[in-house]
Amino acid sequence: MSIRFDENKKTFTLETAHAAYQMMVDRDGFLLHLHFGDKLGGGSCAGLLDTGYMDFSPAPDIEGTYRNYTLDLLPQEYPVFGAGDYRSHCMNVTLADGARNPELVYASHRILSEKPVLEGLPGLHGACETLEITLRDRWTDLEVVLLYSVFAEYDAIARSARIVNRTGAPIRLHAALSVCLDVQESGFDLIHFWGRHVMERQVERTPITHGKISVDSVRGTSSHQHNPFVILCDHMATEDAGRCWGVSLLYSGNFVACAEEDQSCSCRVTMGINPTGFEWRLENGESFQTPEAALVYSGEGIGALSRRYHKLYRRNLCRGEWALKQRPVLINNWEATYFEFDDDKLVRIAEQASELGVEMLVVDDGWFGNRFDDNRALGDWIVNTEKVRGGMGKLCERINALGMKLGLWFEPEMISEDSELYRAHPDWCLHAPGRGKSRGRNQLVLDMSRKDVRDCIHDMMYTVLSSANFAYVKWDMNRHLTDVWSAELPADRQGELYHRFVLGVYELLERLEGEFPQILFEGCSGGGGRFDAGMLYYHPQIWCSDDTDPIERLEIQYGTSFGYPISTVGAHVSASPNHQTGRTTSFHTRGVVAMSGTFGYELDLRKLSEDEKEQVRAQVKQYHRQYSLINDGDYYRLLDLTAQKDISAWEFAAEDGSRALLNIVYIHVRGNCPPPVLHLRGLTPDASYRLTEDNGREIGVWTGAALMNAGFRPARSNACYPAGATDYAAFQIELERID
């Protein structure tokens, strides 16, 4: 049993492998948060509560004239606006009579042996126990049902809230967040992941001081600019030591994560749907389910936190046939041809690819309607038979005959004004009547909240996907939302549209993926603009960034690794000089970096030299050989890329310590500068390891303890071993346990 309720102390304790989560119902019925951290030895930590008096922090009515009680100081599980807690809140609601101060108190609880499915929303799955606590407004029958599912092995608690209106009249929700985490201490940092197109998930670590720090999206998707994943950690926390808490939202739309240090120097983190642009009318008898948030704790540093998320998300978030299955090495024609292709050219690329060991051809943008450039045809999901003569069935036969699989690109949520779909349904895009429409990449966004729109897109996609033996779909989304207004919603419900859009996208994904379970879906939004845990429920991999430069990718993939498993990170070898940055790098370096993801190529393989073609063969073999280590092994960040940017190093180690793979990329070589010592991880201390470069050169034999405790020093730039440690040089070193 991972969930216990102490009837006398009115305390709930959720136990995981290394942690405990504790909360209590206090004498007034409020549900207070006590602890999420290292284990408590079966004890209670209610003694930590500060019930002192604070002027300007009022006491609830039930306390009468007693002054030493205030919600403004006490740690809460689901804080509400308007009833005496002035910090950031989870819920803000207006009741039918205009009152805005519900007081949520404990009503009942149940312990379930599994996790209820959150209808229409992504959620963790698999073996777990769930605590369901129902809170009720002291004055009305407004209910909030809090769910806590315990994934003990990963020190993870999945949380969400369901707001149920039993008040007898409609209410309006202005905010309905998923989670609040109160820690009754100060001295924390917030780690978050900011970015922009072609530069996603840059790591920023900032002290949490008095006031609020928030990261958010109001772009309609989770966005390139901020990611719905943050880490709260001790100032002193490192990769290997210190307390840290991950808060990750399983949601792909507008979100907010807010960290706050309050007047009593306690820290609060909240996360959920962004209240900006959100308002939901809840009729009597209806309920509103918030997205789920996955909280993970590590008392052993940020590295362990990431590894827990990697395993949790790989095993208990990604679904379907492809979640754990080895993914095919693919060739994507986008950077090889852009819009300039036809079936013969694709087949020639595939012929070359298959000869080099590549397993799947992905036909990217440009195969449909009148799509000769990116100004037109989105929404016309009908094969252009001038480009693909004989249709997709014929092309697929030719590709399959080469021993390769076939994949296809779609951008289902979009519409071009120059399209048959727009000419037939000019009202299907998001727009407000009588007002202009903002264009992004010259395209408009379909109103995915509408069933007729989804049905039409579904039917077109279904027809194409059933016309051939497809193995893969890339689901793209290339602009953010504006003019968020729907012809289907009354004026007082337009505030529901951002969320209804996301629910509509999820519904279409669920439907198509159910109909084509054999197809591997890869998510994409101009690269990694929708790289979030919500999407990973539908796609087990996401194109990480449109920036394919391996040197830029070092930081992008580094940042992504904090919250997301390697098996979800789409990464390809592309041409050099790189199309985004103009940087020249070796074929080897591009391979080493792309191999730390779902590996593929994105260039015209026919244009490679014989030596480079040989390298493709070797890379594909190496990727196959290392697949389980990269995807099922433990991932270690060996150097902090925010503290220095000269060298990047990371390692994969088998869980049993039998093998490891060390990756090093020199970014900026400096004269006479000793490279840093790398403390390897995850090895068996007493065993010996043979270190061999991927070119077969043996480096030496050391004990695991020596490599972890004393470390391994990579080559100096002007040293002769290993040869070639220049700017952008990469080394991949295999470690094999030999006794």
For residues 404 to 433, the per-residue mask of contacts with ligand GLA, x marking binding by CB under 6 A and - elsewhere, is -----x------------------------
Torsion, Cα 396 401 407 410, to 10 degrees, reads: -20
- For the CB of residue 417, give the shortest distance to ligand GLA in the complex, in Å: 17
Positions marked catalytic: 532, 612
Applying CB under 6 A, the span of 54-62, 390-398, 521-529, 647-655 interacting with ligand GLA comes to 521-529
For residues 592 to 631, the per-residue mask of contacts with ligand GLA, x marking binding by CB under 6 A and - elsewhere, is ----------------------------------------
- For the CB of residue 627, give the shortest distance to ligand GLA in the complex, in Å: 23
CB 191 within 8 A of CB 302: yes
| Comparison of 279 and 476: residue with beta carbon closer to ligand GLA | 476
- For the CB of residue 338, give the shortest distance to ligand GLA in the complex, in Å: 8
List, in sequence order, every residue forming a beta bridge with 156; answer none if it has no partner: 151, 296
- For the CB of residue 377, give the shortest distance to ligand GLA in the complex, in Å: 11
Residue nearest to ligand GLA (CB): 365
| Comparison of 476 and 513: residue with beta carbon closer to ligand GLA | 476
Among 334, 531, 564, 689, binds ligand GLA (CB under 6 A): 334
CA 128, CA 664: separation in Å to the nearest integer? Answer: 38
Q: Are strands 255-261 and 244-249 parallel, antiparallel or unpaired?
A: unpaired
Q: How far apart are the first and last CA of the chain?
A: 39
Q: Position 400: which residue type?
A: N
| Comparison of 172 and 345: residue with beta carbon closer to ligand GLA | 345
Which residues ranging from 83 to 102 are in contact with ligand GLA (CB under 6 A)?
A: none
Closest CA to 694 of 726, 725, 665, 735: 735
Applying CB under 6 A, the span of 79-87, 519-527, 626-634, 663-671 interacting with ligand GLA comes to 519-527
| Comparison of 564 and 636: residue with beta carbon closer to ligand GLA | 564
| Comparison of 478 and 598: residue with beta carbon closer to ligand GLA | 478
CA 87, CA 482: separation in Å to the nearest integer? Answer: 30
Applying CB under 6 A, the span of 113-121, 167-175, 523-531, 637-645 interacting with ligand GLA comes to 523-531
Residue 196 CB partners (closer than 8 Å, separation 6+): 224, 225
CB 398 within 8 A of CB 347: yes
- For the CB of residue 372, give the shortest distance to ligand GLA in the complex, in Å: 12
| Comparison of 160 and 443: residue with beta carbon closer to ligand GLA | 443
Among 523, 527, 704, 714, binds ligand GLA (CB under 6 A): 527
Tokens encoding 663? 């990756």
- For the CB of residue 366, give the shortest distance to ligand GLA in the complex, in Å: 8
List, in sequence order, every residue forming a beta bridge with 665; answer none if it has no partner: 648, 730
Q: Position 668: which residue type?
A: H
Is residue 543 a contact point for ligand GLA (CB under 6 A)?
yes
| Comparison of 439 and 713: residue with beta carbon closer to ligand GLA | 439
| Comparison of 338 and 516: residue with beta carbon closer to ligand GLA | 338
| Comparison of 85 and 411: residue with beta carbon closer to ligand GLA | 411
Closest CA to 305 of 251, 227, 201, 232: 232
- For the CB of residue 349, give the shortest distance to ligand GLA in the complex, in Å: 16
Which residues ranging from 448 to 477 are in contact with ligand GLA (CB under 6 A)?
A: 476
Output 33-42 pairs: Cβ under 8 A, ≥24 positions apart: 33/75, 33/76, 33/77, 33/180, 33/181, 33/182, 34/75, 36/157, 36/181, 36/183, 36/245, 36/295, 36/297, 37/243, 37/297, 37/299, 38/243, 38/299, 39/15, 40/13
- For the CB of residue 602, give the shortest distance to ligand GLA in the complex, in Å: 8
* H helices, E strands: number in the chain: 12, 36
CA 737, CA 695: separation in Å to the nearest integer? Answer: 19
- For the CB of residue 603, give the shortest distance to ligand GLA in the complex, in Å: 13
| Comparison of 215 and 544: residue with beta carbon closer to ligand GLA | 544
CA 42, CA 53: separation in Å to the nearest integer? Answer: 30
Residue 279's alpha-carbon distances to 93, 232, 671, in angstroms, are 9, 29, 59
Question: Coil, strand, or helix at residue 671?
Answer: coil
CA 735, CA 693: separation in Å to the nearest integer? Answer: 9
DSSP H stretches of helix in 523-586? 533-538, 550-561
Is residue 522 a contact point for ligand GLA (CB under 6 A)?
no
Closest CA to 227 of 660, 535, 623: 535
Is residue 526 a contact point for ligand GLA (CB under 6 A)?
yes
For residues 367 to 406, the per-residue mask of contacts with ligand GLA, x marking binding by CB under 6 A and - elsewhere, is -------x--------------------------------
List, in sequence order, every residue forming a beta bridge with 36; answer none if it has no partner: 21
Among 129, 239, 343, 546, binds ligand GLA (CB under 6 A): 546
| Comparison of 526 and 675: residue with beta carbon closer to ligand GLA | 526
3-state class percentages of the chain: helix first, strand second, coil last, to nearest 5:
20, 30, 45
- The 3-state secondary structure of 509-526 reads HHHHHHHCCCCEEEECEC
DSSP per-residue string spanning 288-312:
EEPPPEEEEEESBHHHHHHHHHHHH
- For the CB of residue 695, give the shortest distance to ligand GLA in the complex, in Å: 31
Applying CB under 6 A, the span of 24-32, 166-174, 424-432, 520-528 interacting with ligand GLA comes to 520-528
- For the CB of residue 480, give the shortest distance to ligand GLA in the complex, in Å: 13
Which residues ranging from 100 to 159 are in contact with ligand GLA (CB under 6 A)?
A: none
Closest CA to 180 of 88, 254, 46, 296: 88
Closest CA to 470 of 513, 413, 421: 513
| Comparison of 145 and 383: residue with beta carbon closer to ligand GLA | 383
- For the CB of residue 722, give the shortest distance to ligand GLA in the complex, in Å: 34
Among 129, 343, 365, 552, binds ligand GLA (CB under 6 A): 365
Among 267, 524, 593, 661, binds ligand GLA (CB under 6 A): 524
Q: Which residues bind ligand GLA (CB under 6 A)?
A: 334, 364-365, 374, 409, 476, 478, 524, 526-527, 543, 546
